[in-house]
Amino acid sequence: MLLAFCRILTIAPLPLIFQHIIDKLMPEENIARILELSALTVVLLILHHILSIQGAARIGKAVAQLILDLRGQIFQKIQYLSFGYLDQQKTGRLLSKYAFDTQKIETVLMPILNFFLPNVFYSIATLAILVFLNWKLAMVVVLLLPIFALMRNRYFENFRQRNEASRVANENMAGTASEFFTALRLVRFYGEERQAESMLQVSNDEVARRRVELVRVSSSFASFSYGAIKMLSLVVVAGGAIMAIHGQVSTGTVLAFVAGLPSLVDPIQMFANISDQFFLGQEAYKSARELLMAPYVEQWKGCERPEPLKGEVLFDRVTFRYPDADRDALDAFSLHIRPGEKVALVGASGAGKSTVANLMLGLYQPAEGEIRVDGIPQEHLDMRWLRQRAAIVLQESIILSGTIADNLRFANPRASDAELRDAARLARADAFIEQLPQGYDTVVGERGAQLSGGQRQRLSIARALLRNPVLLILDEPTSALDYESERQIQAALETLAEGRTVVTIAHRLSTIRDADRILILEQGRLIDQGSYDELVERDGPFQRLLASAQGA
């Protein structure tokens, strides 16, 4: 910025030089001095050029660094947002804040720092010179005030609102589009491309409509400011001419005014030109700030680490409801899991099984009741530490783009190659990995699209194994698989379960025969529990589940 200001200082005296040449040197017919002054001006212009380049490069670097930091902060914030809040956000909106809002801020910061602010300074410096030359003629700048007032009243608020509407429309479009991009397979299988197109078209139309409104306001604003500035020039020229006729100013001074006027009003013209970007940038900044200031972060602030973790989990009359849900997902739910115990949760879908897993690792906070791990309430625990000692295998395994090895090491970045192979072997994943073209270094593509469901699942089991977790949660890890894959994975899971606390959520009752204890959930309540054999004997809910499973 300092360089930018110095740059302005090199060109601010130009009106003075002009006035001097016309009023002083021309009557004296001092050609040598005129050439000298011209040469000085050229030197000043060269200096201006050098300072411009240097200044712009530095400002560019600073802005890039700023945006880098901002992106980092946004991502960090998203990582800590609570799932109650995240569930209600379209991922496209978050992406748009991370990728596009920051870009818009960058786009506007550069012209503001490098051109607009220095030009405001230029304008002030020029005004000072014009006042010095002739304060009466310089009073025309007072005319700028009503012009500013008019701009503020007629355009700014209007502009801001339309920009906001335009941004929201853009975010919605990005959200809907990213949803359809993830659902391409679904749409293709159903042959519903038309429906997808028309659904996306709605938000696309909205964006276009908002954009047109915005362009209308901004072009009317640009044209207004252009007219106002020309009017001002007219006043200066005509007023100057009249004053010159009365002998109140010299011709050179009028010339200096005409030369200085553009830089005087440059900020207005410039603002008219970047106003689009400016309001977009302001909007983008608001949107990024809204995220950065969002209070919906996970509230875990505890720092206790019960070392070594035994893996005892207690749900003490836990009641929980998802935000915006109309009934409780868990209702006074109590459960005590002893260290090293293998429990299985069964029940109809929607009974609350996954919710138990979510709460156990603190993805949501219960409204009532308490969850304790190794006797310590979650509020006092260092939840991130706990999560790092747990592992979860989900029904839909989440595979990252990158190689097989990268995916495995996500759970344990320090694992050696030998440990990777061991984990893969225990998870029955070694055979298929070794058949891949580059083995462990094969790139699996986004979300593991090149792998079958069973392969993905065994990969995610290997990943869980590599972490060597004290607490292992398996949320229907085999329900999406065929019988053969299921059998293989079942065997892998049994190896994985040894010496840990394991919570298995299962749909197929055949897979939970060996559990120490089976818990039956219905509508968020624990309605029965016992070993497989006990439950089979008893004429209760388990019988009904068995009957419906056989009937199916």
- Bridge partner list, 345: 505, 519
The interface mask with Mg ion, positions 370-409, x = CB under 5 A, is ----------------------------------------
**Which residue stretch of 21-29, 163-171, 350-358, 412-420 sits at the interface with ligand ADP (rule: CB under 6 A)?**
350-358
Nearer to ligand ADP, 281 or 347 (CB): 347
Chain centroid to CA 518: 42
Distance separating alpha carbons of residues 21 and 281, to the nearest angstrom: 44
Count residues binding ligand ADP (CB under 6 A): 12
Stretch that binds ligand ADP, among 309-317, 345-353, 453-461, 509-517 (CB under 6 A): 345-353
**287 vs 457 by CB, closer to ligand ADP:** 457
Closest CB to ligand ADP among 5 and 296?
Answer: 296
Strand partners, 381: 304
Give the range of 171-179, 275-283, 322-330, 494-502 binding ligand ADP by CB under 6 A: 322-330
Element (H or E) spanning 356, and its range?
helix 353-360
Nearest to 453 by CA among 431, 485, 476: 485
Q: Which stretch binds ligand ADP (CB under 6 A): 212-220, 344-352, 395-403, 411-419?
A: 344-352
Q: Going edge to edge, which strands form the sheet with 525-530?
A: 390-393, 471-475, 501-505, 342-346, 517-522, 525-530
Helical packing angle, 157-182 and 193-245, nearest 10°: 160
Stretch that binds ligand ADP, among 116-124, 187-195, 321-329, 495-503 (CB under 6 A): 321-329
Q: Does 52 bind Mg ion (CB under 5 A)?
A: no
DSSP result, 163-219: HHHHHHHHHHHHHHHHHHHHTHHHHHHHT-HHHHHHHHHHHHHHHHHHHHHHHHHHH
Chosen residue from 92, 281, 311, 352 binding ligand ADP by CB under 6 A: 352
Hey, which residues between 168 and 187 contact Mg ion (CB under 5 A)?
Answer: none
Is the Cβ of residue 168 or residue 394 nearer to ligand ADP in the bound state? 394
For the chain, what's the residue count? Answer: 552
User: Across 288-407, where does the E strand assignment appear?
Assistant: 313-320, 330-337, 342-346, 368-373, 376-377, 390-393
163 binds Mg ion (CB under 5 A): no
374: number of Cβ within 10 Å: 20
Residues 60 and 73 sit within 8 Å (Cβ to Cβ): no
Selected from 79, 349, 435, 550, the binder of ligand ADP by CB under 6 A is 349
CB of 180 to ligand ADP, least distance (A): 21
87 in contact with ligand ADP (CB under 6 A): yes
**Selected range binding Mg ion among 67-75, 176-184, 256-264, 354-362, rule: CB under 5 A:** 354-362
Token representation of residue 184 = 């391409």
Residue closer to ligand ADP, measured from CB, 163 or 478? 478
CB of 504 to ligand ADP, least distance (A): 12
245 binds ligand ADP (CB under 6 A): no
Within 10 angstroms of residue 88's Cβ, the number of other Cβ atoms is: 11
What would the x/- binding string for ligand ADP be over residues 46 to 85, using CB under 6 A? ----------------------------------------
Q: Does 355 bind ligand ADP (CB under 6 A)?
A: yes
Binder of ligand ADP out of 93, 353, 409, 421 (CB under 6 A): 353
Identity of the residue, 249 or 520, whose beta carbon is nearer to Mg ion in the bound complex: 520
- Give yes or no for residue 205 binding ligand ADP (CB under 6 A): no
Site membership for Mg ion, residue 354 (CB under 5 A):
yes
User: DSSP character for 443?
Assistant: B
Q: Given the rule CB under 5 A, which of 113-121, 348-356, 433-441, 490-498 is the region that contacts Mg ion? A: 348-356
**Cα end-to-end distance, the chain, whole Å:** 74
325 binds ligand ADP (CB under 6 A): yes
Q: CB neighbours of 362 closer than 8 A, spacing ≥ 6?
A: 298, 300, 371, 378, 383, 386, 387
Helices 417-426 and 453-466 cross at an angle (nearest 10°) of 130
329 binds, among ligand ADP, Mg ion, none (CB under 5 to 8 A by kind): ligand ADP
Return the H-helix or E-strand segment holding 530: strand 525-530
Q: Residue numbers of the site for ligand ADP (CB under 6 A)? A: 87, 322, 325, 329, 347, 349-355
Q: Given the rule CB under 5 A, which residues bind Mg ion?
A: 354
